Amino acid sequence: MTFRHYLELMKLRIGVMIALTAVMGYVAVADEVSVVQMAVLALAMLLGSAASSVFNHFYDRDIDRLMTRTARRPLASGAAQKPVMVLWFAGLLLALGLGLSSWAFNMVVSLHLFLGAFVYAVVYTVWLKRRTWLNIVIGGAAGSFAVLAGAAAVDPSIWLLPLLLAVTLFLWTPSHFWSLAILLKEDYAQAGIPMLPVLVGEKRTADAILINSVLLVGSALLPWMLGELGWIYGAGSSLLGAWFLWLNWRLCRNPSRPLARKNFFASMLYLVGLFFAVLADVNWA
């Protein structure tokens, strides 16, 4: 395999989002922000995410061959003569992430990193993905551990605000992924994966996205409502939430692929917007 193949196995786009959520948890509780600490935290979380992604490529290589979107992935396409060898690569990445987080921060950060990787690699990929439409709902907990790790890097005893942000991350995943699943409905059906649009169709999936997003936006307001964050975060979260719910409502009225694609990318902008709202609030509120 080539260097590019190894990069593809690591799913760096997912890793960057995981690292961003960890930094959000760090920024939310830090009295003084250290760029060096944030960089080390982001790298550790990126390594942990990459480890679970490599395992995901290995375990799912059979169904990846059945889907147009994933058929050209390194292990699905046969680029690796001995796919099992990539498990050593996954183990190395995880060991590096755990070692770095333990050395630079504390064991609580390492525990959250491990749990996030375990939920994605084992709970989601092995136990749930091929069995139930709840796969992405429960599997969404993988991202929640990143924000808890970020807060624990500052002080493991601070729990309320990180927990509220973790709930928001948990509820963000279904709205994000079900929009993508509408776009990939035929692929998932071909591979026999029980994603929600395959089971109930686009219209009911769009309704489920809206219901979930109402819970998501409500949970994102809790840090402001409970006084953990100030008015800047409250205003930013409210505006972002109103915009995101409006897009969800449009998808419900017209569950088309173009609107599902807009919802998918909008969910990422919503999460990034929340991060900047946290950053602005802790610095200027």
Range in 11-15, 217-221, 262-266 with the lowest mean pLDDT: 11-15
Q: What is the pLDDT of residue 285?
A: 65
147 CB neighbour count, 10 Å cutoff: 30
- Binned at pLDDT 50, 70 and 90, residue 36 comes out as very high
Q: What is the mean pLDDT of the chain?
A: 94
3-state secondary structure 169-233: HHHHHHHHHHHHHHHCHHHHHHHCCCCHHHHHHHHHHHHHHHHHHHHHHHHHHHHHHCCCCCHHH
Asked if the model's pLDDT at residue 270 lies above 80, the reply is yes
The DSSP annotation for 123-159 comes to IIIIIITTT-TTHHHHHTHHHHHHHHHHHHTT-TT--
The pLDDT, as a whole number, for residue 131 is: 94
Work out the pLDDT band at 77, boundaries 50, 70, 90. Answer: confident
Using the 8-state DSSP alphabet, how is residue 31 labeled? S
User: Between 70 and 98, whose confidence is greater?
Assistant: 98
Among 149, 160, 204, 162, smallest CA distance to 181 is for 204
Contact present, 253 and 209 (Cβ < 8 Å) = no
pLDDT tens string 195-208: 999 999 999 999 99
pLDDT single digits (tens) 122-167: 999 999 999 999 999 998 899 999 999 999 999 999 999 999 999 9
Cβ contacts of 130 within 8 Å, gap of 6 or more: 63, 192, 193, 194
The stretch 36-62 carries a mean pLDDT of 96
Write down the pLDDT at residue 83: 86
Domain at 1-157: CATH architecture: Orthogonal Bundle (1.10)
Contact 46, 19 (CB under 8 A): yes
Is the confidence at residue 121, as pLDDT, over 90?
yes
Residue holding tokens 């802790």? Answer: 282
For residue 27, the model assigns a pLDDT of: 93
Return d(Cα 134, Cα 52) in angstroms, integer: 19
Evaluate whether 99 touches 114 at the Cβ level (below 8 Å): no
Answer with the residue of higher pLDDT: 82 or 20: 20
Name the CATH topology of 159-285. Four Helix Bundle (Hemerythrin (Met), subunit A) (1.20.120)
Whether the pLDDT of residue 1 is over 80: the answer is: no
Is the model's pTM score more than 0.85?
yes
Q: Write down the domain spans for the chain.
A: 1-157, 159-285
Residue 253 burial (C-beta neighbours within 10 Å; 0-12, 13-18, 19+): exposed
pLDDT tens-digit map of 79-113 = 777 888 899 999 999 999 999 999 999 999 999 99
Nearest to 205 by CA among 190, 222, 183: 183
d(CA 152, CA 159): 8
pLDDT given for residue 79 in this prediction: 79
Query: Alpha-carbon distance 76 to 238, whole Å?
Result: 43
